[in-house]
Amino acid sequence: MSGPDTSILTYRQALAALGLPGPVDHETTRQAFLRAVKSARPDHPAGDAERFREVIAAWHVIQAEGPARPALAPPLRRTAPLPTLSIDPMLAVNGGPVTTRHRGRTFRLTLPAGLRAGEHVRLKGAGRDDSDLFLALRIRAADGLSVLGDDLFMQADVSPRVLQDGGRVEVLTHAGPRNAWVVAGLEPPVRLRLKGLGLPARGRHGQGHLFITLTPAEEAPSAAEHLLDRFARGWTTPRLAA
């Protein structure tokens, strides 16, 4: 029985000749052609010359009549960045008024305490057709403080002797001076955690903490110098202080 007349193969017949149920991408079609032509090669024991000619003809039909492939992939469309509102860590901790501009308009907002990065702030009527616009919140590092999740992070200089021998350190934090005890023999970097001095609890977020990285610095005051300084501040009269 002779095979079909390869000169009148339609596009659908050509796909079927390669074992494809319908149009597919170029690479899948090419792989189907390679498999079919390999199995039909006349010099193979199971080859078939007529089948080989059919596969070759099918490939030519597909190449000529198949869907055109673009020479270059279309450029990726970059989505416009979402509008953001940038605040500093202290505004995230305490909340308060903030001013922002959008599309030539000025908006004054009062932010609640404990906002987290990624939350959204609504600008009423700031979108197109006077719809509301939601700004993604970004908390930038400022004044030595940075925010990650619920927690605040800062660095503080400390005398190398304190890290070597241990002792009390006083760190000036955003919530005022705080004392901590350092055990002897710690290798830098040394990080302290002051519980409850991070972002305040809000919604599903719990109370954050303050993490302080102690950096050895020769000019940093020792624990004894801290005590002397506090004693002097406490006992100096306003007249002498002046």
10-61: per-residue pLDDT in tens? 888 888 888 887 788 888 888 888 888 888 887 777 777 788 888 888 888 8
pLDDT category, 207, cuts 50, 70, 90? very high
> Whole-model pTM?
0.58
Whether residue 44 contacts residue 55, with contact meaning beta carbons closer than 8 Å, is answered with: no
Most confident of 36-40, 177-181, 198-202: 198-202
Closest CA to 221 of 180, 170, 187: 170
Beta-carbon contacts of residue 5 (< 8 Å; ≥ 6 apart):
none
